[in-house]
Amino acid sequence: MVQVLDEEGGVVGDVPDLSEEEFVAMYRHMKLARHFDERAVSLQRQGRMGTYPPLSGQEGAQIGSALALSEDDWIVPSYREHGAAMVRGLPLKQTLLYWMGDERGSLVPEDANVFTPAVPIASQIPHATGMAWADKLRHGDETDRAFLCYFGDGATSEGDFHEGLNFAGVFDTPNVFFCNNNQWAISVPRERQTNSETLAQKAVAYGFEGVQVDGMDPLAVYAATTEALEKAKDPADGERRPTLIEAVQYRFGAHTTADDPSQYREDEEVQRWKARDPIPRLERFLRDQGLLDDDRVETIEASVREEVADAIDAAESTVRPEPSSMFEHVYAEQPPELRRQSEAFARVREEYGDEAFLEEQ
């Protein structure tokens, strides 16, 4: 398993070649993701947001991998990669709106290469293969763009995982398949998902390389992703190849805010993994390098708090969506029947008022 930092933040591998600013930015992104996550969970608890899938514990994998990408690369995420999506330019406000049930949160800004997150497990994997394939079909070796797809350990059991990776192997698509193995698929532990010793080894069956990396070591994740991207985009031997990365990590919190992990796992296990928390680990390393001290950490924490508070304000002050907007974005041109339905909807609203719809909450 690739590791750069041990659990105490001591160096045990090759530290990637990052500038001082980049190291500190990585730390700040991880703090931002963690704080965002804590606030989001508390918004849900207060009834200010719907069901939300937390990411705490998984910042090292998300941020480490997302930062390894170049500007032109893409990510194809699942529902839990708020941290990676944020690094790649999806405003936190959008993520909040989406989990607040507002369709407009699904709009990814044009300049962010983040595909619309997918909830049906593993369904995004063939998309990522297709996107990479399209780039290759259109541009051949003229481009060096890669498509990184995130999914969980549970996703490796779905047919779409097999089909997406198999196509990638057959057509040599420039993909990085990034498995966030957080040990659990809701209540089902990793060992019950597959009898394979590792998830990384599944790549062998598709004819490309699989690597296991300590997913709670952001530097190891960065290094492994960088290497995989190189293979996808510009390998020494000229043969562009996909890679499967298994980032071994842990979800500290519930599967979603609707889940109660005490039903299926022991707190002792959670505590064991918390000892590998990626944030203090990176912090220790950066302090040892003289890149962080108490003052800088405090400044970062203050700015992170402000950034998240601003995003929450922006999301919560967004006027709730116009009800008739549910008839939009279905087709390029609204078919006559849909127009009739939307007119019927308008008439009922007019006649009975919004109270008639909202009273049943």
Ligand X SMILES: Cc1ncc(C[n+]2csc(CCOP(=O)(O)OP(=O)(O)O)c2C)c(N)n1
Q: Could you confirm whether 82 is annotated as catalytic?
A: no
Question: How wide is the angle at C-alpha 125 spanned by C-alphas 257 and 119, nearest 5°?
Answer: 25
Q: Binding residue for ligand X (CB under 6 A) from 64, 154, 210, 278?
A: 154
- What span, in angstroms and rounded, lies between the C-alpha atoms of 250 and 41? 17
Question: Which among 33-41, 67-75, 151-159, 224-232 is the span making contact with ligand X, rule CB under 6 A?
Answer: 151-159
Please report, as ranges, the residues that interact with another protein according to CB under 8 A.
50-51, 79, 98-103, 105-106, 119-123, 154-155, 157-160, 185-188, 192-194, 256, 258-259, 263-264, 320-321, 323, 325-327, 330, 337-338, 341-342, 345, 348-349, 351-352, 356-358, 360-361
- What span, in angstroms and rounded, lies between the C-alpha atoms of 75 and 69? 9
- By CB under 6 A, residue 186 contacts ligand X: yes
Is the CB of 185 or the CB of 223 nearer to Mg ion?
185
Q: Which does 222 bind (CB under 5 to 8 A by kind): Mg ion, another protein, ligand X, none?
A: none
Q: Of all residues in this chain, which one has the CB nearest to ligand X in the complex?
A: 152
Question: Are the C-beta atoms of 58 and 180 separated by less than 8 Å?
Answer: yes
Question: Are the C-beta atoms of 193 and 162 separated by less than 8 Å?
Answer: no
Q: Which one is catalytic: 264, 272, 339, 347?
A: 264
Q: Which does 101 bind (CB under 5 to 8 A by kind): Mg ion, another protein, ligand X, none?
A: another protein
| Residue 266 C-beta: closest distance to another protein, Å | 12
Tally of residues, the chain: 361
- What span, in angstroms and rounded, lies between the C-alpha atoms of 90 and 104? 13
Is the CB of 27 or the CB of 184 nearer to another protein?
184
- What span, in angstroms and rounded, lies between the C-alpha atoms of 304 and 306? 5
- What span, in angstroms and rounded, lies between the C-alpha atoms of 198 and 280? 27
Q: Which does 80 bind (CB under 5 to 8 A by kind): Mg ion, ligand X, another protein, none?
A: ligand X
Q: Which does 125 bind (CB under 5 to 8 A by kind): another protein, Mg ion, ligand X, none?
A: none
- By CB under 6 A, residue 215 contacts ligand X: no
Backbone angles phi, psi at 47, to 5 degrees: 75, 15
185: Cβ contacts below 8 Å, ≥ 6 apart: 152, 153, 154, 155, 157, 193
Question: Are the C-beta atoms of 33 and 41 separated by less than 8 Å?
Answer: no
- By CB under 6 A, residue 159 contacts ligand X: no
Question: Are the C-beta atoms of 85 and 117 separated by less than 8 Å?
Answer: yes
Q: Could you confirm whether 251 is annotated as catalytic?
A: yes
Instruction: Give the binding site for ligand X (CB under 6 A).
Output: 80, 119-121, 152-155, 180, 182, 184-186, 255
User: Catalytic residue numbers?
Assistant: 251, 255, 264
